[in-house]
Structure formats: structure tokens, C-alpha cells
Amino acid sequence: MDARRADKSRSRPASARERIDRTAYELFSRHGIRAVGVDTISARSGVAKMTLYKHYPSKEELALAFLRRREELWTRSWLQQEVERRARPPAERLLAVFDVFDKWFRRSDFEACAFARVLLEHSEQRHPVRIAAKGHIETIRAFLRQLAGDAGVRDASGFARQWQIVMMGSIIAAYAGDRDAARRAKEIGLLLLARAGVRTVKGVQP
């Protein structure tokens, strides 16, 4: 999900902080945090480096702000809302995740999972950015856990972890070139639901 859609709709000129946030979001989403320097963000946003540091005293703080923005735009405003729009029963909403992913995987600007990328970039367990990324992944899992519980799955926590593994695996497969990864993942999802004793209508889709 891209922050540019929301930003384009604004009629007033963007403030320096908004330009920094928008540029950091776009570059970090596409290239990762480690690969993008503050100099690049300053140049692309048209904001002087001194002004950037006024808003974000360190690159780490800018990275943490990016992850919060990613959760708001990707997890809450896009994934959760799209899933809830497409289906009402909890089990169908779980399957709808992969319908949403299918459209995402086929976009020309598909950028994979920013949270997973951060985990790969920051191997130090106590690094604040790594801890934040894990927290944002847990936010997604909490959403899945709620759906699983509402669907009548006994071990909703364990099921949510399984479902998230399938989700993240499909993202990596799509990033490696398999644009049908979400459809394959949905078939696995149907098996998981069946094993949990949850009946579904196989359809969903848009």
C-alpha cells in the first residue's frame, strides 16, 4: 500500500515534515532502511538536512516513525479495511486476506513486507527498530487471532501464527516472481480452516 494516494488528495502544500515522512515512506518501503541514507531523503524531499534533523534527530527515529506510518497505512487503513469490506463472516475474512494480497502482488509497485525486511536488516535482538518491527507484526497477528477466535477456532493464537506464516510466505514467493502466490496460499488457508473444523464458502474474491 502506497502513501502517495492519500498525499495526492491534499490541496494545501505539504509541510517539511510531511515531505520527509512521505519520502522516507516511499524509499524505505521500496529499498529498506539500511539502503537509504539521510542525504537521499533530504535531497528527494527537498528539505534541508538541518531541518530534517530538527524533526528527526536520528535516522533511527525516522525509521521508527516510518514503521508506525506503515502500520497505519498498510495494516489498518488498507489490509484490515479491505478484508472487512470484502467479507462479513470471520472465516471468510481470513480467506479475504489472500484476495487482497492477490491484487497487491499484481501491482507494478508491489514492494513486499517492510516489517519482514527490517527484521532481516537488523539482526541485533535488542535493536529498537527490530523490536518495533516485531511489534507491528504482532499487530497483524492480533487481527488474525481475533478473526480466528470469532470463527470458532479453539487455539486462536496458534492458528493466527500458522495463518501469518502462510501470509508472509506468500509475500516472499510473490516478491520472488510468483504472482499467483496469494491464490496458492488461499488453498492452504482452506486446508487450515478445514482442519480446525471451520466451514467456509470457498468464494470470497472482490
Query: Can you list the domains of the chain with their CATH numbers?
Result: 4-195 (1.10.357.10)
Task: Assess whether pLDDT exceeds 90 at residue 38.
Answer: yes
Mean pLDDT of the chain: 93
Please, are residues 192 and 163 in contact by the beta-carbon 8 Å criterion?
Answer: yes
pLDDT for residue 48:
97
Name the residue type at position 46: G
Quote the pLDDT of residue 10.
52
pLDDT of residue 9: 47
**Which of the four pLDDT bands, split at 50, 70 and 90, describes residue 206?**
very low
Residue 172 pLDDT > 60: yes
Rounded to an integer, the average pLDDT of 75-101 is 97
- Residue range 87-100: mean pLDDT, rounded: 97
Q: Where are the alpha helices (DSSP H) in the chain?
A: 4-8, 16-31, 38-45, 49-55, 59-70, 81-86, 90-105, 114-121, 128-150, 156-175, 181-195
Instruction: Answer yes or no: are the C-beta atoms of 134 and 119 closer than 8 Å.
Output: yes
pLDDT for 2-23, tens place per residue? 544 444 445 678 899 999 999 9
Angle, vertex CA 205, rays to CA 200 and CA 206, nearest 5: 135
Kindly tell me if the per-residue pLDDT of 182 is higher than 70: yes
CB 145, CB 158: distance < 8 Å: no
